[in-house]
Structure formats: C-alpha cells, structure tokens
Amino acid sequence: MQKPHVVVIGAGLGGLSAAISLASEGFSVELIEKNDKVGGKLNIVTQDGFTFDLGPSILTMPHIFAALFERVGKRMEDYVKIQTVTPHWRNFFEDGTVVDLTPDPEEQRREFDKLSPTAYEEYWRFMAYAKQISDDVERGYFAQGLDSFWELIKFYGVTDSLLKFDVFRSMDQGVRRFIKDSRLVDILNYFIKYVGASPYDAPALMNLLPHIQHEYGLWYVKGGMYGIAEALEKLALELGVRIRLNAEVVAIDHQQGKATAVRLADGSLLPAGIIVSNMEVIPAMQRLLKSPASALKKMQRFEPSCSGLVLHLGVNRRYPQLAHHNFFYSAHPQHHFNAVFHEHQLSDDPTIYLVAPVNSDPSQAPEGCDIIKVLPHIPHLDPAKPLTAEDYLALRERVLDKLERMGLTDLRQHIVTEDYWTPLDIERRYYSNQGSIYGVVADRKKNLGFKAPQRSQELNNLYFVGGSVNPGGGMPMVTLSGQLVRDKILADLAKQ
C-alpha cells in the first residue's frame, strides 16, 4: 500500500524530528516553516561580532538525537560535534555560597561539604530515588509514548503508578524527603527550569530530571547550539524531505473528521494524507482549525508554561567566576515561583539562569569579550493581568542589579551590544501559546504533569509534536516526540 503524503507544519526540533522519522520509513514529506530558517526556538543571531544562541542552551540525552541518524545508518558525529560541559552548573547564593554540580564524585563531595557535613550523603540518597523514577519513566512513558494517565495506569498498573511516581507529593516535597540544607533544596528544585514550571506545583516524578542530567551528562555544540538544527536540516534534505521556508500555514482544510490539506498565506493549497503540527496544540486549534469553544474548553488543563525575559549581552570583558551554566538564586524562592505561576506578576527577586558560552567556545565572541545570556522565568501573557513594556524594562534593571550585587561588577558599564526578548516577541515569532517557552506547564493538580495527546481529538489524521504534547518540553523531549509520532502513525495505518 502506498504511504500517504505527509505535511509537517513548523520546522522546530519536533517538526524536524517528525519529518526525518517519517522519511526514514519511506513517507514523502513536506516541511513548512513560516520563518527564514529551521530550528524553531533553537535560533541564532550574529550581532557586532557576538553569536547569540537565542533559544535552548543546554543539551542533554544526546542519544535521542543520535537515534535519528542511526536509524538510517548514519553517524551524528559526522554532522555535528558536541563536547561535555563541566561543571554542570555553578550555583550562587545571596549568603555568598558558591557551589558546583559536577559529575566527578570526589569533586562533588568537596563542593557539598561547603553546605553541610551530611549534604553529600543526602544527595546520593535523593539520586537513588530520582534514578528509580527515571528508569520507570524511560521504559514506559518515553519508550512507549504513553499519552494519558489512563495509558500510564494500563502500562504500569495502579499500585506501581501511585508508588513508583510518588504521585501524592510535589517535586519540592519529594526533594525534602531526603535533603535538609535549604540551598541544596533550591538547587534540586531548580531542575524544573527544563520544563518551565514550579517545583511546588509540579508532580514529584519531575525529580527524574537531576538523574537524567547526571546519567547522560551536559553537552555543548561546537560552534553554537544552532548546529543541532543545521545537522537535522541536512539529514532531512538527504532523506528527501522538501523544506519550504518563509511559508506560513494559515489553515488546515478538513472534511468529515479528516484533514485534507494545508492552506498557505499566499493562497496555495498543499494536499496531505497526514498532517503533523509542530505548532502548539491550542494555538493550532485556534489559528488553523478554528476549533469550537467546546473543544478548546477541554484543553484548559493544558495551561501554558512560563515565559522568560531573555537578555543576550555582549560585554567587553570576561567574568572568570562564571562557569558555562550558572544560577543566581532568589533569597525567597517560593515567593518567586508564586509570583510567576499564581499571581502572574514579575518577581521582585527572581532566580536567574545565566549562560556564559565563551567558557566552552571562545569563537562566539571577540577576543577578551564575554557573552552573558540571562533568563529569569516570568509569567506567560495573561490578558487579565497585562504587563507593559515598562514593566519588563523594570525587571531588566532588577536582574542587572542582582547580578552586579552578586559579583558581576559593573556589568552595565561593559555591555557593548544587547538582544532583548519579551513574551510578546516569543509569541509573535513562534506562535507559542501566550508567549510560553516550554509548552504546557507541569502541574499535578491541573494535569498530573501530562501534556496534550499527540493524536488530534478532532481529526483522525492530524498529529502534534513539540513541547505542548507528551512527553513535554526541552530539546530531547521535543525531538523524542517526533520519533514517537512516527510510531503512532505507523500503528494507526496498520489498523486500517
């Protein structure tokens, strides 16, 4: 039987992965992207001699990306070079404590001795718990592409689902079972940055994240993170995927519960037997399907993740105290998370993620200069509580005040170029749901940490990939979603 023609909407990592995965199985695939380059939020800009990675800054679980190449007998290392990053993170606290997370056990012991005499042993007891969660999630939720709580129950059983995933605790409560020192609690809680949620609301199963980072390492792409997108684009083209840039899909045509074509902004119509959308589910329902209010109401539990104020600073000096990845913690982390996720306000004292990629790759900036990428989490756009341009600029000043106070002396005076993004820019560029960065928020009360299903609830040949569907946000997960959607499409075709 001839396989149906596939149109993929959006060339983010999820869309690229889906296009490659389906082309690997002999499907003819057309990939449509509204922007001028592939990669979605994995984006890049060169400005005044500085190269800024606009989107994701952390690469982990490289085997998920490598699987796309291996499936067609190719090697990822022939397309992109990656290198390990150590330490994994450097953590700065208001009391002056600076402590690294590192893969080396003896180095880690010395670092945690700065916190307390028992911190190292507590950490490893926690990591055994995190490993158990991770192992169980990987063998079912990831490997099988489980798409709902009921599929989870069917695969694992009721008892195992409740016990193995610690479902009655939040992420923070899971951490505090093992960890006494408040600073180490903050470090482990902030692994939630990978999915843009709050550790006080997210389910305890999110405690798999520290194990994943420790198990699979932290990596950097030589020449900049955008090299991942370029490698996947090259592989897609080699497999015969047709990629159209600067082409915006404005509608999905459908009849009798089945998608028939995508309609472009220039009026052209592209027939399709299967459509895969890398646009987030709710924006796709609103923009492309014009879904009725009743259908959108069913999606309310899949609230958007947080957004971010993104500052890319080119500075004319180096800050040697920085590692590649750094965190400057709020003195009152619960107040920070409450402001972002419950009050939908800008935090007075945010925790700040700071990337200094020149530590791994001096070619990204002029000699003697540094790149300071700053990302505090902030609320997604909320029409009921709109924030102004002045509000975002005021937060920029608070962030720079905090960094200067915590050791980045005279940072403002050394800025020679800047690229600045607010949630409005993120929504406009990527059509993300209310300017979210990570897709759907992980909240145990709203959605048990699940994202939207990959199969459309309206059209039987429409599928979704990316951070708004299972298994969730972050580079590895959205790339995995493209591989899982291939499996679902093949299974559905086999039933016909």
CB 246 within 8 A of CB 34: yes
> Residue 249: what pLDDT?
98
> Residue 165: what pLDDT?
87
Contacts 24+ apart (CB under 8 A), 253-260: 254/289, 254/458, 254/459, 254/462, 257/458, 257/459, 257/460, 258/459, 258/460, 258/461, 259/459, 259/461, 259/462
In this structure, how many other beta carbons lie within 10 angstroms of the beta carbon of residue 124? 15
- Which residues lie below 8 Å from residue 15, measured CB to CB, with a gap of 6+? 8, 9, 31, 33, 40, 276, 278, 465, 466, 482
pLDDT digits (tens, 9 = 90+) for 207-238: 999 999 999 999 999 999 999 999 999 999 99
- Which residues lie below 8 Å from residue 420, measured CB to CB, with a gap of 6+? 310, 311, 312, 396
> Residue 2: what pLDDT?
86
CB 228 within 8 A of CB 64: no
pLDDT digits (tens, 9 = 90+) for 261-277: 999 999 999 999 999 99
pTM above 0.85, yes or no: yes
**Tokens 């995190």 -> residue:** 130
**Tokens 């540094």 -> residue:** 370
Predicted confidence (pLDDT) at residue 436 exceeds the cutoff of 90: yes
Tell me the pLDDT band of 113, cut-offs 50, 70 and 90.
very high
Predicted confidence (pLDDT) at residue 293 exceeds the cutoff of 90: yes
Predicted confidence (pLDDT) at residue 1 exceeds the cutoff of 80: no
Which neighbouring-strand residues pair with 138?
none
Predicted confidence (pLDDT) at residue 471 exceeds the cutoff of 80: yes
> Residue 122: what pLDDT?
98
- Rounded to whole angstroms, the Cα distance separating 383 from 451 reads 23
Complete domains list, the chain, with CATH: 6-42+56-81+222-302+454-495 (3.50.50.60), 101-217 (no CATH), 306-437 (3.30.519)
Point out the least confidently predicted range of 16-20, 90-94, 152-156, 306-310: 152-156
Residues 255, 242, 229, 82: what is their CA dihedral angle, to the nearest 10 degrees? 130
Mean pLDDT value of segment 297-312 = 96
> Residue 259: what pLDDT?
97
Mean pLDDT in the chain? 96
Q: Map residue 190 onto helix, strand or coil.
A: helix
CB 134 within 8 A of CB 194: no
> Residue 148: what pLDDT?
87
Mean pLDDT value of segment 84-98 = 97
Whether residue 471 has a cis bond before it, omega within 30° of 0: yes
pLDDT digits (tens, 9 = 90+) for 41-55: 999 999 999 999 988
